[in-house]
């Protein structure tokens, strides 16, 4: 019996990697077929790469509903066993959010590998083809199975839950400030250097609604005017100063909001946790926790917004949301995650 080649499904969503144009600027035009055709050596990998153009958008215009549909498509193709892994190509602007959403909604072992490019195909040194090839190798690798969603970029492998875009133009923009990369792609092989501690997922079947979750970043002199109307949201993430502080002027508004919708406290710094009980002044992290805000631990503001969105989409109440954030934020027991964990 001849062995089936490893099969990878590559779905393209648009982004710089798929953009072409002239002097006026580039726009997404390339299909998934175009992208794979531009990768030197793709045919020599022995990997059966199946391609599908999912959409052709700048990643700023991706919608959470579409990404949930993408997660459903991935579940369908990976659970029937016809593909061993999935590559997503998209714009880098929102990879840190989309990859985490896909991670949360992916209960299977097949790797989901998200990548893109910082230099478009018309530029010297376009990085798209190299990133696609490294992503294909990772998606096909038995070593990457069970790791959930990953971001592979510039030969580094990052966990979707940790990765951030850290530079607006650098090819090495993706970093995991709290954890570092999980590994690297070397000579086409996945070399893991670290394992993420646990995987926390939300069953796709539980996702029944599309909540609206806001993000408010506090700034010096913030008078709370921009929080007006936030009570109409389903949930709010506050990106506070440092370890989770806000101006004193905001505390009555946040207290009132936290009494009606989940309000999650993060740090606007983007690395390191919010604290729980170090400072005690009005507007401090401990004061805000007593006022009903939920600490996000190590999750940065963008990840926290995706987690809050996903928990609300699955109908979670305040206690489940708090338990979910404690588990995913790394400050509480993973065992208290509301759904079954992966071994």
Contacts with ligand GLU, residue ranges (CB under 6 A): 15-16, 58-59, 91-93, 116-118
166 is catalytic: no
User: Token pair of 250, please?
Assistant: 């905001």
Candidates 2, 6, 16, 138; catalytic one: 16
Q: For ligand GLU, which residue has the nearest CB?
A: 91
- Show Cβ contacts of residue 255 under 8 Å, excluding neighbours closer than 6 positions: 291, 292
Least distance in angstroms from the C-beta of 153 to ligand GLU = 10
Least distance in angstroms from the C-beta of 92 to ligand GLU = 3
**Do 8 and 139 meet the contact criterion of CB atoms below 8 Å apart?**
yes
Angle at 12 between CA 299 and CA 192, to 5 degrees: 50
Rounded Cα–Cα distance for residues 10 and 342 (Å) = 25
Whichever of 59 and 301 has its CB closer to ligand GLU, that residue is 59
Q: Where are the alpha helices (DSSP H) in the chain?
A: 32-37, 64-79, 95-104, 128-140, 251-258, 285-290, 301-313, 318-328
**Do 215 and 274 meet the contact criterion of CB atoms below 8 Å apart?**
no
Least distance in angstroms from the C-beta of 133 to ligand GLU = 17
Rounded Cα–Cα distance for residues 192 and 125 (Å) = 27
Whichever of 93 and 156 has its CB closer to ligand GLU, that residue is 93
Per-residue burial over 308-333, b if 16 or more Cβ lie within 10 Å, else e, is: bbbbbbbebeeebbbbbbbbbbbbbe
**Do 90 and 114 meet the contact criterion of CB atoms below 8 Å apart?**
yes
Whichever of 59 and 138 has its CB closer to ligand GLU, that residue is 59
Least distance in angstroms from the C-beta of 160 to ligand GLU = 16
Coil/strand/helix, residue 18:
helix
Whichever of 15 and 111 has its CB closer to ligand GLU, that residue is 15
Least distance in angstroms from the C-beta of 255 to ligand GLU = 37
Whichever of 95 and 243 has its CB closer to ligand GLU, that residue is 95
Catalytic residue ranges = 16
């Amino acid at each position: 019996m001849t062995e089936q080649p490893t099969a990878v499904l590559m779905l393209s969503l648009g982004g710089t990697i798929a953009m072409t144009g002239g002097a006026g600027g580039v726009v997404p035009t390339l299909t998934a077929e175009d992208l794979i055709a531009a990768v030197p050596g793709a045919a020599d990998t022995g990997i059966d790469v199946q391609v599908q153009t999912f959409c052709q958008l700048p990643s700023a215009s991706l919608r959470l509903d579409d990404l949930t549909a993408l997660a459903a498509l991935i579940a369908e193709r990976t659970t029937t066993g016809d593909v061993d892994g999935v590559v997503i190509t998209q714009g880098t602007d929102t990879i840190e959010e989309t990859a985490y959403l896909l991670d949360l909604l992916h209960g299977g072992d097949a790797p989901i590998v998200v990548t893109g490019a910082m230099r478009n195909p018309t530029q010297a040194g376009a990085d798209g083809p190299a990133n696609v090839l490294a992503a294909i190798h990772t998606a096909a690798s038995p070593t990457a199975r069970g790791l959930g969603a990953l971001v592979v970029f510039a030969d580094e492998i990052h966990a979707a839950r940790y990765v951030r875009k850290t530079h607006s133009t650098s090819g090495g923009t993706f970093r995991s400030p709290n954890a570092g990369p999980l590994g690297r792609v070397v000579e086409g092989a996945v070399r893991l250097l670290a394992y993420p501690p646990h995987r926390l997922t939300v069953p796709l079947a539980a996702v029944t609604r599309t909540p609206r979750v806001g993000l408010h970043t506090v700034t010096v002199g913030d008078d709370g005017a921009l929080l007006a109307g936030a009570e109409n949201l389903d949930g709010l993430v506050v990106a506070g100063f440092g370890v989770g502080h806000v101006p004193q002027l905001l505390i009555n508004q946040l207290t009132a909001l936290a009494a009606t919708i989940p309000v999650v406290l993060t740090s606007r710094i983007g690395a390191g946790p919010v604290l729980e009980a170090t400072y005690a002044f009005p507007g401090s992290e401990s004061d805000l926790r007593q006022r009903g805000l939920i600490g996000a631990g190590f999750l940065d503001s963008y990840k926290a917004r995706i987690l809050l969105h996903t928990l609300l989409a699955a109908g979670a109440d305040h206690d489940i949301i708090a338990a979910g954030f404690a588990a995913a934020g790394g400050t509480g027991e993973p065992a208290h995650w509301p759904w079954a964990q992966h071994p």
